[in-house]
Amino acid sequence: MTVIKTTDKDRLDFESGINELKEYFASLGARKGRALTYNVLTYGCQLNESDSEKLSGMLMSMGLVQSKGGELDDADVIVFNTCSIRENADRHLFGNLGAFKTLKKKDRDVIIAVCGCMMKVPENVARIKKSYPYVDLVFDPQQLHRFPVLLRDAIRDKKQLVNITADDYIAEDSFFPIDRKRKFRALVPIMYGCNNFCSYCIVPYARGRERSRDFDEIVRELGDLAKKGYKEVMLLGQNVNSYRGGDGKSFADILRAASDFESFSRVRFMSSHPKDLSDEVIDIMASRPNVEKHLHLAMQSGSDKVLKDMNRPYTIGRFLEIADNFRKKVDGGSLTTDIIVGFPGETEEDFADTLKAVEKARFDAAFTFQYSARPGTKAAAFPDQIPQDIVTERFGRLTEITNRLAEESNSRLVGRTMEVLIEGISKAGDRTFSGRTITNHLVNFTIPEELGIDPGPDMLEGRLCEVRIDRARPYSVDGELVRLKGD
């Protein structure tokens, strides 16, 4: 595994790109007599959200401001940061791009850029070249640090610039200006890419091989975030447990280092692969009060045969052992998962094994997906692709169980008073706020008038409070504020 490095030349190119674009946008803005705006549209996972915070940071450094209109096309620079995990993600992009043709005709200065995981699938790039010539710039996730240079070149040359590389290069996060979207939560990627090649998954192709960030860089960033007052950090990677920094540093070391900053009330992480999750990590979750009591561990299937075909190197027996161990050690902890229905060759018996395993693991929540054949992956060429009607029927049976388990998990909280980190207003106007427990349960709560707390919409974001839970719903619980902490 390579530790990520950038060169002085990268830095110089980056800065000259930003400076030239700043001048360009300043004169364009003067000509139009208004501030120029940008919009970054983000699809997919939190790693893409993190990339979008960097795209947004770069665009701000060029003198642009975030468009406020809320409409897709209401900006001078529009960036689509795409995801290719399932087919419906692809469809979204092309649907939206089509609508931009008239906009481009109306205002030739508008810039449209497309990046993200879909751009590592050659068919998608070919389609943009052929059918969407008005897209100005296409680049892949490994080129994020070259965005200013590429954007400058695309604008200067006034023709579509496509820059897709075979690079496995990623610039260190400290390279970028980062426009963090949440006031209280900071996304902190600790590694990029994936080596697991699960047979259905596009990510290893889209994101390249695993690369871990330097341990000291991560700790420096965490220290900076703590100083700035962030309350929650989310450590990100496709498989955080395979983090390998220099000097034998492991994910457990990162988790400990993050939780050492006492001003973080929540240290969260996503995702863990069952093959790499260590007992040490579970022990840290159990013993450190500010490390979330929530483990997201993708099971994918309950059938050993399907798991083998998926190239997931564990048996369902082993998975359930890990689940058990987590439940025993992390008191009241919550366990969530991902499950794919209708993987090629999945028989009724295999599927029944999945249902059984779901019941045994008693997941607190599950993200359930219908299998989607991704071009270029091994499973896309497997025989025995499952007909859609069977997939739909199985999916219905599975979600009935996972919804029931989620509601049961929520019901166990009723009557308790729990600590909640407030994320913001839930419904405008009626004093309903939302937040999460340290077990990642979503809580919507009201503030009784007699408490005399009359916060503005943003005032409570990032604050800790105690909420009495009085009702369970399938995906959340409702409650009432008891007191704000830290007053």
Q: Does 84 bind ligand F3S (CB under 6 A)?
A: yes
197 scored as a contact of ligand SF4 (CB under 6 A): yes
At its nearest, how many Å lie between ligand SF4 and the CB of residue 235? 16
Three-class secondary structure assignment of 421-464 = EEEEEEECCCCEEEEECCCCCEEEEECCHHHCCCCCCCCCCCCE
3-state secondary structure 235-246: EECCCHHHCCCH
| Closest residue by Cα to residue 144 from 234, 246, 17 | 17
Among 93, 202, 306, 422, binds ligand F3S (CB under 6 A): 202
Partner touching 463 among ligand F3S, ligand SF4, ligand SAH, none, CB below 5 to 8 Å by kind: none
Distance (Å, whole) CA 46 – CA 235? 10
* Min dist. Cβ of residue 260 to ligand SAH (A): 26
Considering the complex, state which of residue 204 and residue 462 has its C-beta at the smaller distance from ligand SF4. Answer: 204
Q: Which long-range contacts (CB under 8 A, 24 or more apart) does 87-91 make?
A: 87/372, 87/373, 87/374, 88/372, 89/43, 89/44, 89/118, 90/118, 90/124
Using CA atoms, how far apart are residues 404 and 228, in angstroms rounded to an integer? 40
Q: At what angle do helices 348-361 and 388-411 cross, to 10 degrees?
A: 10
**Distances 301 to 71, 213, 265, 296, 361 between C-alpha atoms, Å:** 39, 31, 34, 15, 12
Q: Which residue number, 299 or 418, has a Cβ lying nearer to ligand SAH?
A: 299
- Mind giving me the DSSP string for 35-96? --EEEEEE-SSHHHHHHHHHHHHHHHHTT-EE--S-STT-SSEEEEEE--SSHHHHHHHHHH
The entry of ligand SAH, ligand SF4, ligand F3S, none that residue 197 binds, CB within 5 to 8 Å by partner kind = ligand SF4
Residue 441 engages ligand F3S in binding (rule: CB under 6 A): no
282 lies in the binding site for ligand SF4 (CB under 6 A): no
C-beta of 196 vs 354, nearer to ligand SF4:
196
CB nearer to ligand SF4: pick between 204 and 208: 204
Pick from ligand SF4, ligand SAH, ligand F3S, none: which does 204 bind, CB < 5 to 8 A by kind? ligand SF4
Determine the Cα–Cα distance for residues 328 and 256; give it in Å rounded to an integer: 21
- Which of the ranges 101-109, 201-209, 395-403, 410-418 carries the binding residues for ligand SF4, by CB under 6 A? 201-209
Q: Name which of ligand SF4, ligand SAH, ligand F3S, none residue 437 binds, using a CB cut-off of 5 to 8 Å depending on partner kind.
A: none
Task: Pick out residues in 366-405 that bind ligand SAH (CB under 6 A).
Answer: 369, 371-372, 374
203 binds ligand SF4 (CB under 6 A): yes
With CB under 6 A as the rule, give the number of residues binding ligand SF4: 10
For residue 409, cis peptide bond before it (omega within 30 degrees of 0): no
- Tabulate helix, strand, coil % of the chain (nearest 5): 40, 20, 35
274 binds ligand SF4 (CB under 6 A): no
In the complex, least distance from residue 337 CB atom to ligand SF4, rounded to whole angstroms? 12
Residues facing residue 133 across a β-bridge: none
Q: List binders of ligand SAH among 280-309 (CB under 6 A).
A: 298, 300
CA neighbor of 151 nearest in space, from 13, 254, 280: 13
Give the interface segment with ligand SF4, choosing from 16-24, 176-184, 192-200, 478-486 (CB under 6 A): 192-200
Residue 111's binding partner, choosing from ligand F3S, ligand SAH, ligand SF4, none, with beta-carbon cut-off 5 to 8 A by kind?
A: none
Q: Is 206 in the site for ligand F3S (CB under 6 A)?
A: yes
Of the residues 59, 75, 83, 418, which one makes contact with ligand F3S according to CB under 6 A: 83
Which residue type does 242 have?
A: S
Amino acid at 338: D
In whole angstroms, give the CA distance from residue 217 to residue 261: 15
Q: Residue 298 or 405: which CB sits closer to ligand SAH? A: 298
Positions in 342-371 near ligand SAH (CB under 6 A): 369, 371
Phi, psi of 437 (to 5 degrees): -80, 170
DSSP 8: H
Is residue 342 at the binding interface for ligand F3S, with CB under 6 A as the rule? no
The torsion of the CA quartet 44, 49, 51, 57, rounded to 10 degrees, works out to 150
Q: How far is the CB of 37 from ligand SF4 (least distance, A)?
A: 34
Q: Give me the least distance between CB of 141 and ligand F3S, in Å please.
A: 7
Q: Which two tokens stand for residue 321?
A: 């052992």
Give me the residues that bind ligand SAH (CB under 6 A), please.
Answer: 85-86, 200-201, 238-239, 271, 273, 298, 300, 338, 340, 369, 371-372, 374
Give me the residues that bind ligand F3S (CB under 6 A), please.
Answer: 44-45, 47-48, 83-85, 117, 202-203, 206-207
Give me the residues that bind ligand SF4 (CB under 6 A), please.
Answer: 194, 196-198, 201, 203-204, 238-239, 273
